[in-house]
Amino acid sequence: MKKTTAALSLALLTAAVALPAAPSATAAAKKTELLVSAAASLKDSLGVIEKAYEKQHPTIDLVFNYGSSGTLQKQIEQGAPADLFFSAGSKQMDTLVKEDLIANHSTLLSNDLVMVVPSDSHVTFTTVKELTGSSVKKIAIGQPESVPAGQYAKETLTTRSVWNILRSKFVYAKDVRQVLTYVETGNADAGFVYKTDALTSGKVKIALRINPDVHSPILYPAGVVKETKRASEANAFYAYLQTKEAEAVFVKYGFRLS
């Protein structure tokens, strides 16, 4: 009986020694989550930047909230959590700056507006005025009130005196990526998106490049939200977006540097 008890004690001691050591406080610590509210048209480029930045900064976890710039603006105004705002329009950023909700900010990029059609479409265009023809039944655009691409499209069509004529053909989208989807799936015969969006899809082709003189400049300002609780980390990522490394990614995806 004594031998059995001794053997059991030895086995328990051996098992205790074999138990893995408790994780250190550093290993158990959570990453710092940085929330970036960004225009939907930035999704592809920021996806690449996310991987590179997190590799260089292993304690940072970038989380992106993509949507239309107008919707993101409203979210920030209503107190939704956000550390940075990266807009596809100056109007939305300017409003937040005037409301004293944005700290450091600057315009980083610019873009171009294009009209796309399904890749198998045989309809050709030389001007947006040809959208009034019977070959085009539905035209996808972002909601002009909240989607900058939709605002630029409205300005374009208004300048060319066809906005009111075409209103019955419009299919409105919540952001520019939904416009792209409508055209990709054939739910619209044409749509207005940024050049950078058109370049990401093999299901659409650029039918027209819109003259930049007929709409407001397409600018992409970024800024740190004043109410962030992670100001140091937010400013560090804001600075990274302006490095040569990040700029090279944006250029690769079709943006122009401002």
Known binding residue 119? Answer is no
Helix (H, G, I), strand (E, B) or coil at 223: strand
Length of the chain: 258
Known binding residue 194? Answer is yes
Known binding residue 207? Answer is no
Known binding residue 253? Answer is no
Query: In terms of Cα–Cα distance, which of 201, 161, 163, 160 is closest to 179?
Result: 201
HEC string for the chain: CHHHHHHHHHHHHHHHHHCCCCCCHHHHCCCEEEEEEEEHHHHHHHHHHHHHHHHHCCCEEEEEEEECHHHHHHHHHCCCCCCEEECCCHHHHHHHHHCCCEEEEEEEEECCEEEEEECCCCCCCCCHHHHHCCCCCCEEEECCCCCHHHHHHHHHHHHCCCHHHHHHHEEEECCHHHHHHHHHCCCCCEEEEEHHHHCCCCCEEEEEECCHHHCCCCEEEEEEECCCCCHHHHHHHHHHCCCHHHHHHHHHCCCEEC
Query: In terms of Cα–Cα distance, which of 215, 257, 225, 206 is closest to 45?
Result: 257
Known binding residue 232? Answer is no
Known binding-site residues for molybdate equal 41, 69, 149, 176, 194
Known binding-site residues equal 41, 69, 149, 176, 194
